[in-house]
Structure 1
């Protein structure tokens, strides 16, 4: 393989959309670009051989390239460095190039996210262009494209519309705040303590409980040598079905954690399944089952169905599915060659066995558009106590989430910290469904009131946060000001020393969230201004100011405590 894209066999390019140019290999491939009613376009390519699609844009004012698995690398890297291997359970063949104003220069997403596909991208030093090269299997390949748009969020909304056609809404419970045991208990869970935490969680406003790793036999030591049997540890949960029923009687949904593709040497089923798990590239102590074997798919489906049926669960938190990619591109004796296709078959059977209303949590990087029919709770990857990462990851997931409710990683904080410090964790997750993972029984009075206040505010704002139009700005700036709007209401979350722009001509119900350490917010009133009934809360929810305030067009300063919140309500 050539070190840079300029060293590849040259192929003539042709205009595609806006300033994007296209080349396709093999030359015999047939292609057609169609404009769609919603504003997007679709490129359809038919080839009897492996396909290579080359997209290129003159560098111009390009500053960043976002894609679903970009993590912290979201600038314009060199084309010898930009690589992504994607499949149903790892990212997606999608991306967006943008300039310094945030306007997009190229935005695309594969219509079929299942097959294994490689993506090479970056700055071509020789050609002074940004390039994206996609390699896909033979057959028909469809690529949705958004025209030049005002922001990454606007472009991705156009693509989400096309990717999400025909999908049913998620169950209401997928949009409820969650209590998770993971960071609070680690693997040291047991029935009585979970039931007490569940009671407190229900009082504070949670609607779902997830009991994470540790409920199962041999679930100790933070490794995975005992996984595979998925039977309860009777010393912790002597009557798991009765325990689940008691938690559900509180009005809560109940999910168990499971990692059904992992197989540990201490599991009773190890000898029967080891032949289908040659790779040990997963978590410590476990092998990874290869889903390309029907025996593995049957084991996973039977395991998931048995857990839900036997213990009266409302669903499952299914972990480590991305580890199946350890088999990508490798030969197999199974009945399916492609890992993505094997996972599609497996997850289709799991969803059918659990039923349409079952809650299924999936996490980055297997939260792309292709997973929309299988999971309805799409969680940010693990980032304990990292409010910045939670903000960035939840927004990243949301940019391409076509159906599921986006969830934060579980929230934890120092139980001795002041409320403002703890509240920053909730503010970082505000634009997603929060998952609380502090030991509620151990919280002091101020932290508990802080949590009660922010969960109540999140519920009040849920229609904007989950259903409104979100504008987070440039991905490479890590989303320091995020606005969500719906009708005449908006919520603006500020987590850096930036100016918050308010359009008072459109929005008369405004919520401002101060996620900074500063005691003030700087506002830029872009509309006509006006008189607003203003209520300011501190981090714990105490009202520290109630007044009628006139906002004039232009810059102004509003005093809001660190991790505090202000509501402004004007007259339409």
Structure 2
């Protein structure tokens, strides 16, 4: 029997085995799962039955071009200009390294060299995959996915993904796919509010979960196909705005990285794999405490002036905030959303003593200072637009459409990138700013660059965006950067790797935000989840919740306050100060510990458990009806904890009550909710 080469990549707890197919010049998945899963016959073996399809169409291929795989979905569609589409390649070589693999295929007729790249991420169960495409001829690429992922199933595949719209981002959604195709994505020049570039796949209701996440800040798609024979094949990659990418001889195009993860412990276990990966992306910056911020937007809107901001800053400092952020409205011409963008100079009327002395006054209160910017946007009435109308996306002879009364700069242009870098350098150099909130509120519409010929505009904008973020990292390493795009419109691993926190949603209403954060934490880590306490009433769920509920919910990530503190009573400010002090005592556990999602927002009690060393922190939230509960006999709600040591004992630091691990695992923590008590933060110490 002929032996075909196999390669196995191993992570901390999983292995991923690829082999050359016995039926053609391609690589296919042999095994993926817990360590040792590769020892035995492949669960993806389709036994060479290919009636009415080609062997390539039936194979669990890692990546195949149209031509070799004509029927069931290919990852690469390439052609020479004016010629028929298709590639028929041959295997060239394999290069195996420590935790890496490169498989090379060549098509000498077409003039294309394709390298499938694999890399494990130390300390995680994530494998990164991407593809490098090098041309020796003029080529058109109509599809250029990053990778395909094959998952064996015995019945319908359970897909879990994160959906929504503005103010409803990251809602966990599930679909059972027995046959057919499921696809999601964005053509908005950013991941968008509708879908996150993240997908989990399970074999029906089986516990084991496979996940993928695309590292790309522009247009994208993820497509899952339930194929005949019991497998799901997921393709993912960027989507060129122009529908095609042109390569000239000698060009190499590198696709976005696709992170692939596996956990035997279901969606909750898979979430911890992603959390560990994002802690890896943070590197040493994870050890810098995420400071408690106060943001003035919801208190003042565009009505920004030094006296009003200082009044808020003093109140914020009194309750324990560590950082004061002035949001939109601080710069010239920004009395409302019709002007000012692009002219990034403090408004002298708002800061009559100068912006520098204002910043110094904020810092004299013991607060760091932060500023909101939207550097990709420009107002048609701005001086910048008058001087450089050619810098905006536009199509010759067509009207420029306003979205939110603004246009979008072509950040793919080097001169625009240099302007943005120069603007941020000027602000950060002139004033003692330690925090930048980068917002993006306007997707590209008339996306053209007249007079410059064919261009890969989407990829060039992403490259420009990442170049600016990389510059901020290198030139201003002490500045904390928050990523925002009208809420959660641009959250993926390329952004998370270059920012410190991200803003999941503009919706800060208590129960609405709970659903947003529950979905968010499936894909992303607590240390990147900026979450505010505000006065916002429920947009989707108007049931009132206490100040305690709003604080405990926000403590599940990076705590901020966005309420109008001037309207709070002294008692409310005192309660807020206590919650902030409690948060500071446990934020290292929340941000660096292992997080476990306990229940869902649909349950009467849900929460998040965080474990680090000998400490367990539980953020518990009562989501059910509160009226009448004390009038009828019944027991307290209980929240069962997970993965504790059954024989160990755990002491509640607030009440002194001691529980066995077995008790907490079997019965759970008790909570007697009422109208005045609908949330709690419990800290347990293992004895």
Q: Aligned residue pairs: how many?
A: 531
400, 414, 421: which one aligns with 1:294: 414
CA distance in 2, matches of 1:468, 1:548: 23
In structure 2, C-alpha distance between the alignment counterparts of 1:139 and 1:95, rounded to whole Å: 25
- Larger-Rg structure: 2
Taking structure 1 as reference, are residues 241 and 120 closer, same or farther at Cα in structure 2, changes over 3 Å only? Answer: same
1:55 aligns with 2:149: yes
Residue number in structure 1 paired with 2:346: 232
Distance 2:416 2:130 in 1: 34
CA separation in 1, counterparts of 2:163 and 2:499?
A: 17
1:310-389 to 2 correspondences below 5 Å: 310-320=430-440, 323=442, 326=445, 333=452, 337=457, 338=459, 339-353=461-475, 355-363=476-484, 364-389=488-513
- Separation of aligned partners in 2, 1:234 and 1:179: 23
For residue 84 of structure 1, the aligned residue among 175, 178, 185 is 185
- Counterpart of 2:359? 244
The 3-state SS of whatever aligns with 2:555 is coil
Q: Which of 648, 672, 677 does residue 559 from structure 1 map onto?
A: 672
Unaligned residue ranges in structure 1 (runs of 5+): 1-10, 499-513, 537-545
Indicate yes or no: 2:291 matched with 1:176.
yes
Residues in 2 aligned to 1:531 and 1:14: alpha-carbon distance in whole angstroms: 45
Deviation string 1:268-303 (CA, Å, 9 cap, x unpaired) is 222122222135667411111110112211221122
Secondary structure of 2:348's counterpart equals coil
Change (3 A) 1:523 1:393: closer
Alignment-derived partner of residue 522 in structure 1:
638
Change (3 A) 1:463 1:135: closer
Mapped partners of 1:260, 1:356: distance in 2:
19
Cα shift readout 1:130-157 (whole Å, capped 9, x = no counterpart) = 4422245774555442234313353354
Match of 1:494 in 2: 620
Whether 2:608 is the aligned partner of 1:448: answer: no
SS in 1 for 2:499: coil
How many angstroms apart in 2 are the aligned matches of 1:394 and 1:425? Answer: 14
Answer yes or no: is 1:132 the counterpart of 2:210: no
Match of 1:95 in 2: 199
CA distance in 2, matches of 1:390, 1:352: 35
Distance 1:418 1:54 in 2: 44
Relative to structure 1, is the Cα distance of residues 518 and 411 closer, same or farther in structure 2, using a 3 angstrom cutoff? Answer: farther
CA distance in structure 1 between the aligned counterparts of 2:170 and 2:681, rounded to whole angstroms = 32
Superposition pairs of residues 389-428 of structure 1, within 5 angstroms: 389=513, 392-393=516-517, 396=520, 399-400=523-524, 405-409=528-532, 411-413=534-536, 421-428=546-553
Q: Deviations over 1:50-103 (max 9, x none)?
A: 534433433646444235987336212776663213899537754322467683
Q: Is the 8 A contact 2:595 2:610 kept in 1?
A: yes
Measure, in 1, the Cα distance between the counterparts of 2:555 and 2:579.
9
- Report the counterpart of residue 220 of structure 2 in structure 1: 118
SS in 2 for 1:175: coil
Contact 1:419 1:446 in 2 (8 A): no
Match of 1:17 in 2: 32
Q: Distance in 2 between matches of 1:518 and 1:494?
A: 18
Q: Identify which of 210, 224, 231 aligns with 1:106.
A: 210
RMSD: 4.3
How far does the alpha carbon of each residue in 1:233-281 deviate from its partner, in whole angstroms, 9 at most, with x for none? 2232212111110001111111111111111122122212222213566
Name the structure 1 match of 2:562.
437
Counterpart CA distance in 2 for 1:130 and 1:341 is 32
TM-score (norm 2): 0.66
Residue in structure 2 matching 1:258, options 365, 373, 387: 373
Report what 1:543 is aligned to. none
Query: Which structure is richer in relative contact order (CA contacts within 8 A, separation 6 or more)?
Result: 1
